[in-house]
A = this chain, B = another copy of it.
């Protein structure tokens, strides 16, 4: 077992936040409000000045923030900037600093992290929160209240790094973690976030190009309004999100085309294919029931130092959340995670 960084009492954790968009800015303000020592960097000098007015410690140079030796460095940059930022961090960051991120796609971030030689210091993270807005001006310290964070492990992930990020999520941010791999994360968000965005834009696109557009929109009721809500956000940002996860989104879109083709064939028959349609309309029943199932069991799981990653991934695979973590002063002692969900 590699113990390459000492764990500290969470309340004394020092945190750096890299770039102050909606996500990084909200995170920095939330940490400030919780009394955590937080320092930040953003490429925009005006944003840095605004951050200082908000009581944050802002570095002028990313390399200086990385060199400052914070316990945890959270990179909340847009995906296209990740590669460059990781290279710059790697120049000065000390080995004891753990690095995480807030990117909505995890495989590509890890590629950037590994290319910069930071793989053993890194744990992937993705807070499942956001709004249609963007930028530090819209940052909200309560954006992550009660949020579920995807947390991703890989071969090279170290136990103490994972524990530190779990403590950060559950103790400092009062969130809960769904532990998984980069691949499963990216496949899953393609299904539950990116595909809904694509379908929402399909709905608005189809209505907008209909000859009866004006009238059809007036007839629209709840199902159209809800199904198209996210298409009201930035088309540019939605497009970038899809492209960032193109491999997994492609799979999800192909599956959607497959199901829609079943429906069109069933409807095109002289007598609509009742059996095929019933299969189509009832296929989602397990999900629908799950969504209305408000109950969740609480349990504690002791992590085995040899199999901690497999254990955490197994918890995540059932859809169960890590809601808390207790670690002795010495990591060789017992590690207990609180689990809420289907276990």
Contact = CB atoms under 8 A, between A and B. Distances in A.
Interface of A: 128-130, 148, 150, 178, 180, 184-185, 187-189, 191-193, 195-210, 212-232, 235-236, 238-239, 242-243, 246, 249-250, 252-257, 259-261, 263-264, 267-268, 272, 277-278, 280-288, 290-292, 316-321, 341-342
B257 A260 contact: yes
A187 B210 contact: yes
A189 B218 CA distance: 10
A312 B301 CA distance: 68
A282 B260 CA distance: 23
A236 B282 CA distance: 8
Given A217-B287, A226-B229, A260 B253 contact: yes
A220 B206 contact: no
Contact of A227 (B185, B196, B222, B263): B196
B178 A215 contact: yes
A231 B187 contact: no
A218 to B, nearest CB: 4
A282 to B, nearest CB: 5
User: Among A202, A283, A292, which residue has the most Cβ atoms of chain B within 10 A?
Assistant: A202
Given A222-B230, A256-B260, A268-B250, A191 B206 contact: yes
B283 A201 contact: yes
Contacts of A260: 198, 202, 253, 256-257, 260
Contacts of A290: 217
B263 A198 contact: yes
Q: Quick one: copies of this chain in the complex?
A: 2
Given A208-B283, A287-B217, A291-B217, A272 B253 contact: no
A128 B206 contact: no
A197 B263 CA distance: 12
Contacts of A222: 229-230
| Chain A interface SS verdict (over half) | helix
Contacts of A317: 212, 214-215
A203 B199 contact: yes
A14 to B, nearest CB: 29
Given A130-B221, A217-B287, A239-B280, 16 more contacts: A129-B221, A148-B218, A188-B210, A191-B210, A193-B224, A196-B226, A202-B260, A205-B280, A206-B259, A207-B284, A208-B286, A213-B319, A214-B319, A214-B342, A228-B284, A228-B291
A257 B259 contact: no
Contacts of A231: 284, 288
B223 A229 contact: yes
Given A217-B319, A223-B197, A290-B217, A281 B207 contact: no
B216 A277 contact: no
Given A264-B257, A342-B214, A192 B224 contact: yes
